[in-house]
Chains A and B, each alone.
Chain A
C-alpha cells in the first residue's frame, strides 16, 4: 500500500491516491490532495467536499451526481446546480476527483 507525506505524517492511500482510512482526513489533507490534482480549494469547492462528506457519513456511499448538483444549486444558486459547473470546479469529474479530495473511497462500477 502506498503512502503520501503530509505535514510530517505518512498517510495510507490506495493505488489511485484515495485515502484508505477515512479518519485520516482533515482540511489540511484535503488541500494537499486537491493540490496533487491541480485543483485549488475555494469556498464553492468546499461546499461540494463538505456535502460529499456529510452524505457519506449518513449513507456510507457518495451521493448520486444528480443529488449533488441539486444540493449545490440550492446552496450556490440555481445556475450552478448542474454537472457542467461541477466539472468546472473538478475537471477530473465530481464523482472521482471530488470524492478523492473529500477523503471518500473511489466510486467503483460503470462510472
Chain B
C-alpha cells in the first residue's frame, strides 16, 4: 500500500455517509499560477488592488451572461438531496464539500451584494461579503470540485455545481488569482498545441517509435501518420496518450482499428491535444481558442471526419461546445457525427462486422467498466440518450469474454468521479484526490472481491492517470487500470481479412 501522510478512507465495507467534520479539508492549497501564465491567458498578472470590486463586477457580468448561474444562485431550497452525493464529501466529511455548501460559498456573497434581503438582513440569510477569509474558502473549495455533475443529477432544479465552480474560478482568475496546474497547461496548449508541451520533433519521434514497436510485436505495418494532408480522418487524442501508460496502449488500439478498417487517418502537430482545460476555469475565450486550433487543423489537413480519443472532459467540450465555439464544421462530411467518438467509430465497425477479433486474447482479464463523469453526464454517443453507456460496453463485450458490471448506484449516470477531474489532477491536491476516489474505488473493490475483476476499463485520460496514482493507496495495483481501446488492441486481429 502506498504511503500517505494523511488518513486513507476505510472502504472495506463500502463508503457510508460521514459525519460532518467542519474544516477537515481547509488546509489543502493549490500552487498559485505564475504571472507569466496568468498574463498569457488574459488575466491580471497578480491580484489587483481593488480585487473585491473587480470580482463582484465579474460576478455580475457572468450572471448576466449565463442563465444557469443567475438561476442557480436563486433557486436552491437547500433540500440537501445533493449533500451526500459528492465523492469529495463522502471521502472527507468536510461539510464545504457538500455541493449545496460549496455553492453557498458563492451564494452568500451573492446575497450580500446583489439581493435586498441579504443587504438588509445579512445575518439571518447568512449573507457575507467577499472578504479575504471568504476568498480563501473559494480558493480551497472551488478546487475541491471536479465538476463531475453528479450532484446535478439528484437536484430537483438541476442545479449544477460545476457551473458555479467554473464561474468562481473565472472570477478568481479575473482578479489575478489562478491555479498553477490548469493555467500552466492551457498556456502550453496555446504555445505548443498540447498539454505536455511536446514539440513536433518529439512527436514525430514518438510516433515512429510506436510504428516500430507495433511492427515488432505484431509484424504488421500499423501507421501513426502525422500531418498527412488529404487523410479521411483527423484523430485528436489527449496528449497523455503520447506519454503515459496505460494511455499509450489505447492509442495503439485506435491505430489498429484504423488499420483494420482501412480508413486513412492522421494526427495533427498543430492540434496535438484533445484536452481542453479552458472549461475547468470557465474561460470561454481560452476554451474557444483551444477548440478553434483543432477546427483549423482539420480544415488545413482537408479531412472529412474528426474522430476523438479517450478523454472525458474533452469529449464534453467537443460534443457539447465545439459546434458553438469553433463551428460550423461545414468542411466535414455531414453523414458522420461531428465529432465522432472513437468508441462510436469502433462500434460502427463492429456492427458492420468489419473487425476480426480474438476475444480470448483478453482472457487473463476480468473486466469492469468505469463511466467517466463528463461522458456519462454531459455528452452522448450514438443517437439515443444513454448511448454513452451502451456503446463502450458493447465494445468491451465484443473484445472480452469476462465482463462484469459495477453497482449501478456508483456507475452510469450516477457514476462516481475518479477524484482527479476538473483540474485537480495535481500532486499538491493528492489528499483530496485519494479521499475523493474512495466511493469509486469501493465499488471497484466490491467486484474485485466478489466477482474476480482485475481490470477496470475507462475512456478518460484523467481517470487513467488518477487511478494509476491512487489505487495503490487502497492496495489495488495500478495495472488494474486499462483503456477500452487497450483491450480492443489486445483482441484485434490484423493482417489479411
What residues make up the interface of A, taking CB atoms closer than 8 Å to B?
15-16, 59-67, 70, 83-84, 87, 91, 93, 95-96, 107-111
Q: In the bound complex, do residue A15 and residue B428 qualify as a contact, i.e. CB atoms below 8 Å apart?
A: yes
Q: In the bound complex, do residue A110 and residue B248 qualify as a contact, i.e. CB atoms below 8 Å apart?
A: no
Docked pose: A66 CA to B210 CA in angstroms: 9
Chain A-chain B contacts (Cβ-Cβ < 8 Å), number: 83
Residues from chain A with a CB closer than 8 A to the CB of B248 are 64-66
Docked pose: A27 CA to B213 CA in angstroms: 32
Q: In the bound complex, do residue A109 and residue B428 qualify as a contact, i.e. CB atoms below 8 Å apart?
A: no
Q: Interface readout for B424-437 with A: 1 if CB under 8 Å, 0 if not?
A: 01011000000000
The distance from the CB of A99 to the nearest CB of chain B, in whole angstroms, is: 11
What residues make up the interface of B, taking CB atoms closer than 8 Å to A?
2, 31, 180-181, 184-185, 188, 194-199, 201-202, 205-206, 209-210, 213, 238-240, 242-245, 247-248, 275, 311, 425, 427-428, 461-462, 464-465, 469, 478-479
Docked pose: A72 CA to B289 CA in angstroms: 39
22 CB-based A-B contacts, threshold 8 Å: A15-B31, A15-B428, A16-B31, A16-B427, A59-B205, A60-B199, A61-B196, A61-B198, A64-B206, A64-B242, A64-B243, A65-B248, A67-B206, A95-B243, A108-B195, A109-B195, A109-B238, A109-B239, A110-B238, A110-B247, A110-B311, A110-B425
Residues from chain A with a CB closer than 8 A to the CB of B238 are 109-110
Q: In the bound complex, do residue A111 and residue B205 qualify as a contact, i.e. CB atoms below 8 Å apart?
A: no
Residues from chain A with a CB closer than 8 A to the CB of B461 are 110
- Please give me the residue from chain A that is nearest to B465 by CB atom: A110
- Please give me the residue from chain A that is nearest to B238 by CB atom: A110
Residues from chain B with a CB closer than 8 A to the CB of A59 are 199, 201-202, 205
Residues from chain A with a CB closer than 8 A to the CB of B201 are 59
Residues from chain B with a CB closer than 8 A to the CB of A108 are 181, 184-185, 188, 195-197
The distance from the CB of A37 to the nearest CB of chain B, in whole angstroms, is: 12
Docked pose: A15 CA to B210 CA in angstroms: 34
Residue from A61, A63, A65 in contact with B197 in the complex, judged by beta carbons closer than 8 Å: A61
Other than A108-B197, A109-B240, give 7 A-B pairs with Cβ distance below 8 A.
A16-B428, A65-B248, A108-B181, A108-B196, A109-B188, A110-B239, A111-B196
Residues from chain B with a CB closer than 8 A to the CB of A62 are 243
A64 in contact with B311 given A59-B202, A108-B185, A111-B196 (CB within 8 Å):
no
Residues from chain A with a CB closer than 8 A to the CB of B464 are 110
Q: In the bound complex, do residue A65 and residue B188 qualify as a contact, i.e. CB atoms below 8 Å apart?
A: no
